[in-house]
Amino acid sequence: MAEAIIRASITNNSLSADQISVSDINEARLQFLNTKYGVDTKNSQAQGLSTADLIVVAVRPQDDLVALGQIVQQFAASSAVIVSIVAGVTNAQLAGYFGAERSIIRVIPNTLTDTGYGYSGVALNAYATRDQVERFLLGFGKVEYLDETLMDVFTGFGVAGPNYIYYFIESLADAGVLAGLPREQAWKVALENVMGAVVMLQQTGLHPRQLLDINNSPGGVGIHGLYELNNSDFAAGLQRSVLAAVKRTTELGVK
Binding-site positions for NADP(+) read 58-61
3-state SS of the chain is: CHHHHHHHHHHCCCCCHHHCECCCCCHHHHHHHHHHHCCECCCCHHHHHHHCCEEEECCCCCCCHHHHHHHHHHHCCCCCEEEECCCCCCHHHHHHHHCCCCCEEEEECCCCHHHCCCEEEEEECCCCCHHHCHHHHHHHCEEEECCHHHHHHHHHHHHCHHHHHHHHHHHHHHHHHHHCCCHHHHHHHHHHHHHHHHHHHHHHCCCHHHHHHHHCCCCCHHHHHHHHHHHCCHHHHHHHHHHHHHHHHHHHHHC
Q: What residues are designated binding site?
A: 58-61
